[in-house]
Amino acid sequence: MNEVKRPKKPLIFYYGIVMLALLLFNFLAMPWLMQRQVQNVDYGTFLDMAENKELGRVEVQQQENQIVFTNKDNTVIYKTGMMPNDQNLTQALKDSGASFEGEIIEQTNPIVSFVVSWVLPIVLFIAIGEYMSKKMMQRAGGPNAMMFGKSNAKIYVKSSEGIKFSDVAGEDEAKENLREIVDYLHNPNKYREIGASMPKGILLVGPPGTGKTMLAKAAAGESNVPFFSMSGSEFVEMFVGMGASKVRDLFKQAKEKAPCIVFIDEIDAIGQKRDGRLGGNDEREQTLNQLLTEMDGFEENTGVIILAATNRPESLDPALTRPGRFDRRIPVELPDLKGREEILKVHAKKVKVDEKVDFSKIARMASGASGAELANIINEAALRAVRDGRRFVTQSDLEESIEVVIAGYQKKNAILTDEEKKIVAYHEIGHALVAAKQTNSAPVQKITIVPRTSGALGYTMQVEEGNHYLMSQEELENKIATLTGGRAAEELIFHSASTGASNDIEQATKLARAMITRYGMSKDFDMVALETVQNQYLGGDASLACSEQTQTEIDKQVVALVKKQHEKAMKILEDNRSKLDELANHLYEKETISGEEFMSILNG
């Protein structure tokens, strides 16, 4: 869609005009003013006036060969050419009693020149300052905010090359939901006749990069209506009242352009709960109030649909989500396996890709990636192909770029000592072996001990064969065992611990804690929630909600759980010691081995 920018005149524009006016005045009007003051006379007149003692002040300008003089009252300035070497001139001047003091007779009236060079610019600047501040005041408040206080919403007008639903891969449920809106915008009468009314506001909720903005644009593209887009943070400005005025203007414009779609991205920037805390953000609250008022104010079925996106739905003010406002909520989740494959294919259309590329394998490798990350993976792969002088993207480009997106670039000059390399090889094989030996764990896809810029010295990529929506207690325990497998291998072979396991420890602890405090997988606590999750789409931080004694008990259970799995991992490795050695040596030699290679050695 084409974005239409509203012409906006910055302050500098007005000051520029003033400067231009001053310059023109100085160059054109000033000389004219000056000339008017001076009367040209002939030399004879000058001599006559001298004789009749009618001269006031006289200045002989030898270089220009002229005399500038005034009459007795200094009211008129005269100029005359001079006779060279006129011996009588000095005497005549002396006799006339004219004064010579003041070397220059100012050819302009001193008052005029003062006004022009000092007073006028100051007056002009003050006037423009006044004008601007008056406009600011108007912008800041009052229902008659006239032209100012404009929302700086980007307006996209309908155009044939707008984004369509077909450009958004996966997210079928969200698309289904939005199709109804599109249908309504096409044919509102169908809904009106039966008395059904569309929700005024629709909230798109999901983690970052899952295509919320894209879906909103696609809805506008499909319904072929204007699309106003604005980010929540753009409303909140330095001056209190500005945001409210912007909301008003946005809705005014939207109503004029109806039917249309208004999209507010990151609505949590203005829609956060008003909790009456001291030092709250007045501007934000006023903006929110105005938004609520506007949403109530317009009639249903006016053809204005408001879409908003957020990844922190729990922080929104309940007033915003009540019926009549943003009452429909469309979840836009991370794509599943099929969704990932489709997204990859959509983005692969924009680059030249080898025909043999297996997108479903790439999609399986990139488990947990968002749409934006998948788009990034394709782009990284294309960049890699260019770097290596290829004319199209190959499977290996894509696989490598997944690793780049997950783990960072290969560190070219990181040199591990032999001992370190061996430890890393055993550590990674430890993970993989424990994962493979537990029946429910997903097989490994790839193991590598090439250091990455993210700091990882090596990693094991596990592959999920299908989608997992539920995880059993056993699966979670196995996962913890797999995480401890790396450290277990180090202990078994080198009888010491290294710092390489810090990330594993963090993840294992998080899982174990969640099992006990949130999933009710501890007998002692039954089905009691001991933790609440705050930002489920942004990292999912949890905060404890229990007494101190319970906390102590939780900690004990977490330790016991991890310990048990650690022992289990140790046992698996001990039982398969010869395979562990063989695999670790193989990895040490080759630095990267594939899942198939791993399995064939394990089963061989």
Q: Which of 332, 330, 400 is nearest to 371 (CA)?
A: 332
Alpha-carbon distance of 347 to 80, in angstroms, equals: 85
| Distant-in-sequence, close-in-space partners of 80: CB < 8 Å, separation ≥ 6 | 40, 41, 42, 43, 45, 46, 66, 67, 69
Point out which residues bind ligand ADP (CB under 6 A): 168-171, 208-214, 309, 343, 346, 371-372, 375
468-505 residues labelled b (16+ CB within 10 A) or e (exposed): eeeeeeeebbbbbbbbbbbbbbbbbbeeeebebbeebe
CB of 358 vs ligand ADP, minimal distance in Å: 19
Classify the phi-psi angles of 406: left when phi > 0, otherwise alpha if psi is within -120 to 50, otherwise beta. alpha
Tokens representing residue 178 in the block: 């939005």
Q: Which of 36, 14, 32, 34 is nearest to 24 (CA)?
A: 32
* Position closest to ligand ADP via CB: 371
Q: Which of 134, 211, 137 is nearest to 178 (CA)?
A: 211
Looking at beta carbons only, is 376 or 394 nearer to ligand ADP?
376
Residue showing tokens 């990859």: 344
CB of 153 vs ligand ADP, minimal distance in Å: 16
Burial class of residue 547, CB neighbours in 10 A (0-12, 13-18, 19+):
exposed
Alpha-carbon distance of 389 to 68, in angstroms, equals: 82
CB of 376 vs ligand ADP, minimal distance in Å: 8
> 260-265 and 326-331 as β-strands: parallel, antiparallel, unpaired?
unpaired
Mark whether 596 is an active-site residue: no
Query: Letter for the amino acid at 535?
Result: N
Which residues are bridge partners to 459 per DSSP? 448
CB of 288 vs ligand ADP, minimal distance in Å: 21
- Within 52-196, where are the H helices? 88-96, 110-114, 120-140, 172-186, 188-194
Alpha-carbon distance of 250 to 255, in angstroms, equals: 9
CB of 228 vs ligand ADP, minimal distance in Å: 16
Instruction: Read off the DSSP letter of residue 99.
Output: B
In angstroms, what CA-CA distances link 513 with 143, 285, 477? 54, 37, 12
Tokens representing residue 106 in the block: 């100012």
- Secondary structure (3-state) at 200: coil
Secondary structure in 3-state letters for 391-419: CCECHHHHHHHHHHHHHCCECCCCCCCHH
CB of 338 vs ligand ADP, minimal distance in Å: 12
| Distant-in-sequence, close-in-space partners of 136: CB < 8 Å, separation ≥ 6 | 148, 239
- Rg over alpha carbons for the chain, rounded to the nearest Å, is 40
- Secondary structure (3-state) at 38: strand
- Secondary structure (3-state) at 261: strand
Alpha-carbon distance of 187 to 275, in angstroms, equals: 41
| Residue 543: Cβ within 10 Å count | 8
| Distant-in-sequence, close-in-space partners of 164: CB < 8 Å, separation ≥ 6 | 218, 221, 222
Select which of 428, 477, 490, 491 is catalytic: 428
In total, the chain counts a number of residues equal to 604
Residues annotated catalytic, as ranges: 428
